[in-house]
Amino acid sequence: MKLLTLIFLFFIIIGCKDTDDIKTTKKNKGKINFTFLGEIKDTLIIPNIKYAQYSPVITFITKENPYIDQVIVMDSNTKLDSLEINFDEIILRHQYRLENIYYLFNSGDSIIYTSIKNDFPKYHVYNKEKNKKYMDNDYAILKEKVLGKIKPRDFMFFEFSEISPSKENPDDMVMKYLTRLNSQYNLESKFLDSLYHKNMLSEAFYILQTQKIRFDLYNFSISTYEGDEYYIDNKDLLLNELQNDSLVKYYFFKEFLQRVSFLEYSKGGEIKEHDVLEQYNHVKKSELFLPQSKRYLMHNLLKQIANEKSTLDFESKFQEFSLLKESEVLISDIKERYLTDFSTIKKATDSVYLITTDKIKTNLKRLIEVHKEKVIYIDFWASWCAPCRAAMPASKKLQEKYKDKEVVFIYISIDRNFNDWINASKEEGLLLNKNSILGVNYPSAKFYKELKLKSIPRYILYDKKGNLVHQNAPEPSSGIEITELLDKYLLK
């Protein structure tokens, strides 16, 4: 009774605050409407480590495509005003303090996002009069209010925040942490049951949260130093969970599938050298995974093959994957990401082929000719290259310094994934830059081999006559070194 009183008092307080401070949005039938008030923030603090952003922060899944998360907000500390989503229903996932918070929304919902209690995310649906008795969207806030802060079920966080700074035996610390997590699991299970039996949570949300905390515990246990032993000791239980094929729409189940897939392929950790091609073949032949799970895993491994293996390996496996039934949405995703329609030029060696953001084909020779009579400074980079991204502010300053002079700055990404390049270009302010392009046949082209382009960032310089005069030009942050060089060739 004491618990229930606390719950109701808590929601009277936050409920009054919301209705006083927020104006409702006009309902748009057939769409899910979001209004965001304030920045999308996170207050995660990892002891002993400088805070590093994780992304994406807010995504959603649909029943039409349960495999691929669609991104709403990529990074925390982002400002977003409003958004319309044209689906009958979505499952929204907001990653906050390493916790995945889930929300269920339907067509016609008008939702306002705010942040309370140190920027804790809050989504309020204004048109759901009939469901006002349910507290689904406030569950995460209520859980912290009643149970206190829950320890993140994330082994990397635990490793950095508790194991690294401690002198205690790591294995002993893991066992203690697992004991705490099991205790948290039991407390939250009872808390969920209490709310559900009091008719304070909808059945759909209750089932989702029950599944989530169970799989969060599995995923943490498998990811520890003794994860192989845990898997072997609990193999029957864990393999039985694979029967929940419809859960593939949830991130926690996708994570579980990836871990089980790897442990089955590696025979419980016996195989130390990981080969993504062999794991792909193992999943393809395995009878453990039901259809949706197998499609997800093969798609995920195919992306790894595209990023890590040769073009021939990727094309061979993609051809196999294209024959899978009910995989159209995944096949389209691979075609979009890895430019399969450009497979011929991806293998070409005679020229450096380039693709614009609009997927218009060009080449380096043509680009140099277009900018003849100008000094050309080329920056080779990629979305995954941290030093490349760190150099971008200096590059922009250099570009600003020479904006009224005959110097052209060209950015050539060697990303294999078109979507990753687009997203990174957006973040770096290069998306609308007509001289930001994708090197589609890296590393096949003879030019790359002659240049010995094996590491990035790398900068090269062409003079006004179109001659390559520096194969290793100074970086943008080199100060007088790069400015003297540019000035020298401007005078020639």
Check residue 169 and give its pLDDT.
Answer: 82
In the structure, what pLDDT confidence band is assigned to residue 39 with cuts at 50, 70 and 90?
confident
In the structure, what pLDDT confidence band is assigned to residue 6 with cuts at 50, 70 and 90?
very low
Alpha-carbon distances, residue 262 vs 121, 281, 349, 442, 466 (angstroms): 34, 12, 36, 30, 50
Q: Which residues contact 235 (CB under 8 A, 6 or more apart)?
A: none
Check residue 20 and give its pLDDT.
Answer: 32
- Contact between 84 and 31 under an 8 Å Cβ cutoff? The reply is yes
Q: Which amino acid makes up residue 393?
A: P
- Contact between 80 and 73 under an 8 Å Cβ cutoff? The reply is yes
Tens of pLDDT, residues 311-349? 899 999 999 999 998 899 999 999 999 999 998 999 999
Tell me the average pLDDT across 163-182: 80
Check residue 50 and give its pLDDT.
Answer: 42
Is the predicted pLDDT of residue 155 greater than 80, yes or no?
no
Check residue 29 and give its pLDDT.
Answer: 57
Tell me the average pLDDT across 157-183: 78
* CA 188/CA 162 separation, integer angstroms: 23
* CA 66/CA 135 separation, integer angstroms: 25
Tell me the average pLDDT across 440-457: 95
Higher per-residue confidence, 227 vs 197: 197
Check residue 175 and give its pLDDT.
Answer: 84
Check residue 450 and give its pLDDT.
Answer: 95
- Contact between 144 and 116 under an 8 Å Cβ cutoff? The reply is no
* CA 414/CA 346 separation, integer angstroms: 12
Check residue 17 and give its pLDDT.
Answer: 38
Is the predicted pLDDT of residue 452 greater than 70, yes or no?
yes
Nearest to 388, CA basis, from 283, 301, 304, 459: 459
* CA 261/CA 274 separation, integer angstroms: 12
pLDDT above 70 as % of the chain: 87
Nearest to 335, CA basis, from 359, 351, 363: 359
- Contact between 111 and 26 under an 8 Å Cβ cutoff? The reply is no
Check residue 12 and give its pLDDT.
Answer: 35
Tens of pLDDT, residues 15-34? 333 333 333 334 455 699 99
Residue 408 per-residue DSSP state: E
Instruction: Please state, rounded to an integer, the average pLDDT across all residues of the chain.
Output: 86
Higher per-residue confidence, 405 vs 174: 405
* CA 487/CA 375 separation, integer angstroms: 9
Higher per-residue confidence, 492 vs 29: 492
Containing 366, the helix (H) or strand (E) segment is helix 364-370
- Contact between 10 and 200 under an 8 Å Cβ cutoff? The reply is no
In the structure, what pLDDT confidence band is assigned to residue 165 with cuts at 50, 70 and 90?
low
Tens of pLDDT, residues 475-484? 999 999 999 9
Give residue for tokens 């140190």. 118
- Contact between 2 and 104 under an 8 Å Cβ cutoff? The reply is no
* CA 472/CA 326 separation, integer angstroms: 49
Containing 83, the helix (H) or strand (E) segment is strand 82-85
Tens of pLDDT, residues 287-314? 999 999 999 999 999 999 999 999 899 9
Check residue 128 and give its pLDDT.
Answer: 60
Domains of the chain by residue range: 2-158, 352-490
The reported pTM is 0.84
| Domain 352-490 grouped into CATH 3.30.70.890 | no
Check residue 117 and give its pLDDT.
Answer: 61
- Contact between 457 and 381 under an 8 Å Cβ cutoff? The reply is yes
Helix (H, G, I), strand (E, B) or coil at 16: helix
